[in-house]
Amino acid sequence: MILLALLLAVSDPCASPPAERNDPELARRYVAVGEGERDSGSNDTARFAFREALRSDPSNEQARRGLDALCTDARFEEGRRLLDEGDPKSAVIVFSRLRAATASRPAALLEGIARYQLEDAAGARPLLEEAELEPGLADAAHFYLGLIALREDNARVAAEQLAQISPDASLAATATELTRTARRSGRLVISLLVDSGYDSNVTLLPSGVPGGQDGMGSIAAALVARPLGESGPWLRANGLYRRQLQLHDYDLGAVGAAAGWQLGRAAKHVGLEYDYDYLTLGGSPYLGAHRLSASGATAFGQFLLSGGYMLRFESYRTGATRPFSGILQAANFTAGLRIGAGGSIRVGYQLGGDVAQYPETSYFEHGPRARLDLPLGERTRLSADASALWRPYDAVDPALGVKRADLFLDGTLGADFDLSDQLTLRATVLGRRAFSNAPDLSYARVVVSLGLLVSTGVF
């Protein structure tokens, strides 16, 4: 940065030259030449003439004003070009030099944007507040002040800033979307999802066997606290109750609590997490599980990379499922591309191993996965997820008489439609086709659901 500044200073045709002599008469001649050149549109030549005038007489105000006026335009254009070309570091140097010579709110705005891009919120904020005083720049200034507040997880300030953008501004649509995000963000966020749906095969009956289908309704709630914002420690408490319309043995209850620490933000972060889940099935204890996990993500321009690892200590509480208790490990890696505004497509691979009580209930599994997230307009988001998972078990199952091997093909389609800043209509279709060398364990299942999600940032 320092080297760049020095290089720019050396070659800067707008820098004040050192005084070399005291010759006011000569300076006046240079000024006359500079003004003539400037009037004929030859700004480079005029700049040189004004600089030479200042070299001859640093106190010549005409030369100083002439140079400043020419350099303001040239520096502004140069800074804008650098910003457009994705070089905010150099743009900051150029704009700050411009503003040192003359007050310029447009330059303050663009330097503020460049500093925002460099994640220098403290430097950007006063510049954007200065630009905000100019009516023609106010919308853009409020927009970036809103983005800074969002980045700092200050949802209230973000919403206030974004709300000041006039509805006919070019940024208005994006601002509305961000306002919605702001109102659902914060250091304490409460979410509630109420949905109902249909499950074609609750009991996982083999294909061709009638029965097993049922309707259901569920309610889920979550409370997430991030006292220091997105980057920092967090706590979560969540619960779910799903009631089947007829098959009450499959009513599901779940509560969970988690604590974690995330360094960085969503696109570039590493995180550690511990959580505990407790599930009931049909009103009876079913599973208790402690989980430790680590995850990380990074982005290189349009490219996205992420990965995670999980270690889960499972303890099943029913006689039939107790042999599946043990230690489950899973890892996944994905690579993707950003598409459109806020969308992404990712592909990856997942691996897992379950060391259960018996070899016949232990397995190693692996398979590919792909996911598409696609915003459609301001209010609608679509997602699609598909995966294939091969799961060969470790030993012959005496009850089945075979060494079990399964293949799961899963697909999920989801659509979220924002009804208001805090209320979302959510539709989901989930399908699974399970193939097994034990024919009774092959099945197909489709679950459709429609729900309402309320999510709000408390502060």
Binding site for other proteins (CB under 8 A): 26, 29-30, 32-34, 36-37, 40, 42, 44-45, 48-49, 52
Look up residue 314 and give its two tokens. 């499972």
Contact 450, 208 (CB under 8 A): no
Residue at token pair 């070309």: 85
* 333 vs 344: CA distance, rounded Å: 15
Nearest distance from C-beta of residue 40 to other proteins, angstroms:
7
CB of 36 or CB of 439, closer to other proteins: 36
Cβ atoms 234, 215 nearer than 8 A: no
CA distance 220 to 382: 21
- Find the shortest distance in angstroms from Cβ 34 to other proteins: 8
Of the pair 32, 209, the CB lying nearest other proteins is at 32
**Least distance to other proteins, CB of residue 26, Å:** 7
Buried b (16+ CB within 10 A) or exposed e, 249-284: ebbbbbebebebebeeeeebbebebebebbbbbeee
249-to-84, 197, 201, 287 alpha-carbon distances in Å = 61, 17, 14, 15
Q: What is the 3-state secondary structure (H, E, C) of 262-322?
A: EEEECCEEEEEEEEEEEEEECCEEEEEEEEEEEEEEEEECCEEEEEEEEEEEEEECCCCCH
Nearer to other proteins, 45 or 298 (CB): 45
Shortest distance, position 56 Cβ to other proteins, whole Å? 10
Nearer to other proteins, 30 or 324 (CB): 30
Closer CB to other proteins, 49 or 124, in the complex:
49
Comparing CB distances to other proteins, the nearer of 19 and 341 is 19
- Cα dist from 104 to 65, 75, 189, whole Å: 15, 11, 40
Smallest distance from other proteins to CB 58, Å: 18
* 49 versus 453: smaller Cβ distance to other proteins: 49
In angstroms, the CA 258 to CA 236 distance is 5
Identify any residues that bridge with 5 across adjacent strands, giving them in sequence order.
none
Report the nearest approach of other proteins to the CB of residue 44 (Å): 5
The dihedral sign for the CA sequence 11, 17, 18, 22:
positive
Beta bridge partners of 237: 223, 257
Q: Please report how close the Cβ of residue 42 comes to other proteins at its closest, in angstroms.
A: 7
* Nearer CB in complex with other proteins: 62/442: 62
Q: Which is nearer to other proteins, 49 or 109 (CB)?
A: 49
Cα-flanking dihedrals φ and ψ of residue 103, to 5°? Answer: -70, 130
Distance, CA of 49 to CA of 408 (rounded, Å): 77
Closest among 87, 120, 124, 90 to 108, alpha carbons compared: 124
Q: What is the DSSP string of 100-137?
A: HHS--HHHHHHHHHHHHHTT-HHHHHHHHHHHTTSHHH
Q: How far is the CB of 41 from other proteins (least distance, A)?
A: 9
Q: What are phi and psi of 239, to 5 degrees?
A: -150, 155
Shortest spacing between CB 102 and other proteins, in angstroms:
23
Nearest distance from residue 49's CB to other proteins, in Å?
A: 5
Closer residue to other proteins, CB minimum distance, 49 or 138 = 49
Closest contact distance (angstroms) between CB of 68 and other proteins is 18
Stretch (H or E) spanning 336: strand 326-339
- Minimum gap (Å) between residue 29 Cβ and other proteins: 4
**Cα(264)–Cα(260) distance, integer angstroms:** 13
Of 36 and 227, CB closest to other proteins: 36
In the complex with other proteins, the residue whose CB is nearer, 52 or 354, is 52
